[in-house]
Amino acid sequence: MNNMINKIRSIILMMKPKQLVLLMITMYGSYFIAKGPLDPLRLILLTLVGIGSAGGVTALNMYLEYDIDSVMRRTRNRPLPARALNPSEALAAITFLILLGVISGYLINKYVAFAALTGLYFDIIAYTELAKRRTEWALLFGSVAGSMPALGGWAAGNGSITLTGLLLAAIVYVWQPLHVAFIHYYYEDDYQRAGIPTIPTKLGYKAFAKLAISSIALSITLIWIITLLLGRGCATATLSTLLGIGALVSVARFLNNPSREAARRMIKFASPLVGVFFILLPIEIILSNVI
């Protein structure tokens, strides 16, 4: 019994729970921004899409990067390098999760399934298999996968993929380089040891700091565009702008005094920037309907 519990815990760890929670926040946020119905069955199916697709694809990525994880100090205690799971057990669980996610998506509508399959393609084929070991710009492909839960959530609530849904996904897309670039800087030695090219290593810290600034500026711009399209959300957009300005100040400080500690602070600061928007905007829309 204890062995089975440990196996399940290891599978959950392969899904990166903290990352999964953030992605599902963007998914639920988009669903309620689209005024998705409070239908228990649809919300259960959407939850299965998030867990199965986002979590399963993340676990598959980890399965395919077993050799890299074994080399890097940051990742060598993950379930496969630590031998908490054997590869066949991991692959069986991953296959189940991805099938669960895609089938649940189809049961909602074809657009949700499309978002799930697009995330699978860009994370596994474009990012992991084709780009990550070859170019420092691989994160641009991986970011597409990270934006798909938001698009899927919108499609589940709206019934189709529209401009607003694409813009919500774009917010997540342009935010991700801010997060990933500082992870690459903080763990630069690990990535060099594994032979993975990164923007800090290839182009220097100034280049990726400029990328982070562009990421923040584009995120704020997209948030205001969505606010104008919806005709609601000024309070959320204003707060997001203030957080964005705080992030810009932090990046400027990093440029003046680059350090691993400053990069670590930016890693922790990045997640609330996108999380706050996808939590507060649905609440503001609901309140505006009540008042």
In this predicted structure, the answer to whether residue 232 has a pLDDT above a threshold of 70 is: yes
pTM of the predicted structure, to 2 decimals: 0.94
Place of tokens 């995330």: 119
Taking only Cα atoms into account, the Rg of the chain, rounded to an integer number of angstroms, comes to 19
> Contact at 8 Å (CB) between 132 and 196?
yes
Nearest to 207 by CA among 258, 243, 162: 258
Q: pLDDT digit string (tens) for 187-214?
A: 888 888 888 998 888 887 777 778 888 8
Q: pLDDT digit string (tens) for 24-55?
A: 999 999 999 998 888 999 999 999 999 999 99
Average of per-residue pLDDT across 240-264: 85
Task: Tell me how far apart the alpha carbons of residues 185 and 200 are, in angstroms, rounded to a whole number.
Answer: 6
Q: What is the CATH number of the domain that holds 72?
A: 1.10.357.140
For residue 257, the model assigns a pLDDT of 82
Supply φ then ψ for residue 47, to 5 degrees.
-60, -40
Rounded (10°) angle between helices 40-49 and 17-33: 140
**Total domains present in the chain:** 1
For residue 4, the model assigns a pLDDT of 82
Supply φ then ψ for residue 161, to 5 degrees.
-105, 120
Q: pLDDT digit string (tens) for 51-100?
A: 999 999 999 999 999 999 898 888 889 999 988 899 999 999 999 999 99
Supply φ then ψ for residue 78, to 5 degrees.
-65, 160
Structure tokens at 253: 């400080």
For residue 286, the model assigns a pLDDT of 85
286: domain range? 2-290
In this predicted structure, the answer to whether residue 268 has a pLDDT above a threshold of 80 is: no
Task: Tell me how far apart the alpha carbons of residues 282 and 266 are, in angstroms, rounded to a whole number.
Answer: 26
Q: Which residues contact 157 (CB under 8 A, 6 or more apart)?
A: 30, 31, 32, 33, 34, 35, 36, 37
Nearest to 129 by CA among 145, 109, 116: 145
Cα 279 to chain centroid distance, Å, stands at 15
DSSP label at 135?
-
For residue 255, the model assigns a pLDDT of 82
Query: How many other C-beta atoms are found inside a 10 Å radius of the C-beta of residue 108?
Result: 22
Supply φ then ψ for residue 204, to 5 degrees.
95, 165
* Inter-CA distances, 284 with 53, 93, 139, Å: 28, 38, 32
Average of per-residue pLDDT across 14-33: 95
The confidence band for 256, taking pLDDT boundaries of 50, 70 and 90, is confident
> Contact at 8 Å (CB) between 284 and 230?
no
